Amino acid sequence: MDAEIEEDLKVEDIDDACTVFEINYMTNIAPQRHNSLNGSGGPWYKVETLVREQAKDGEEFHVLAGTTFGDAPIKMIGNPNDNRPDTIGVPHMFWKVIISDGHAFGFLFEHDGQLHPNDLGCPLREPEVRNCLAPLTEIETLAGIDLFSDLEATGTEIPIDVGAVLAQSNGLFGE
């Protein structure tokens, strides 16, 4: 390889480069409305930004994230002119759970205009991230998983209430 080109390809933070490489698998991506969910100003983007800011202060976080599909018809995307059957379903909702300092709290984001029947989750243009907080038990039910089954098996307890107070006590909202 040309030395001049090699210089342009140097990675400043090899851990970050490895992480980016490790997470960019087809099994780890989902169609998202960039401008209203994870683009600048979207609620997903805001939560990720808050976590990054706290992590810069040396706090350790564990983040779990995923998608859910509700009862509404699933929109499929893909090239309609391609005769392949492998189109991709667009999730109805996205969720994110943050574990910090022995506490866990979750966020639920609607993605296709279909809010959870109990009005959980926040709409795409929600300006206040704290309005996206949702009970972890609801996220687990929607996703069909038990987020903390391994911890429960070891006898470790993590408070799993919605945690608006928890989130504030952990400084996630800068309070």
The answer as to whether 116 is a domain residue is: yes
User: What is this structure's pTM?
Assistant: 0.71
pLDDT, position 56:
77
Phi, psi of 77, deg, nearest 5: -120, 160
Predicted pLDDT of residue 52 = 81
Total domains present in the chain: 1
**46 assigned to some structural domain:** yes
Residue 45 placed within a domain: yes
Q: Is 103 helix (H, G, I), strand (E, B) or coil?
A: strand
137 inside domain: yes
Is 118 within any annotated ligand binding site?
no
Tokens 């429960």 -> residue: 152
Give me the pLDDT at residue 99, please: 84
In this predicted structure, what is the pLDDT of residue 175?
Answer: 43
- Cβ(94)–Cβ(132) below 8 Å: no
Structural domain includes residue 174: no
What pLDDT was estimated at residue 135? 85
Query: Which helix (DSSP H) or strand (DSSP E) does residue 56 occupy?
Result: helix 43-56
**CA–CA distance, 167 with 172 (Å, rounded to integer):** 5
pLDDT on residue 103: 76
Residue in the structure block whose two tokens are 């379903």: 89
Across the chain, which has 175 residues, the per-10-residue mean pLDDT values are 46 63 73 75 84 78 86 77 72 87 82 58 72 86 83 56 44 49
Q: CATH code at 162?
A: 3.40.570.10
Give every CB contact of residue 88 below 8 A, 6+ residues apart in sequence: 30, 31, 76, 77, 78
Domain carrying residue 148: 3-169
User: Which pLDDT belongs to residue 95?
Assistant: 92
Q: Residue 171 has what pLDDT?
A: 52
Residue 8, in any domain of the structure? yes
Residue 164 is predicted with a pLDDT of 41
14 lies in some domain:
yes
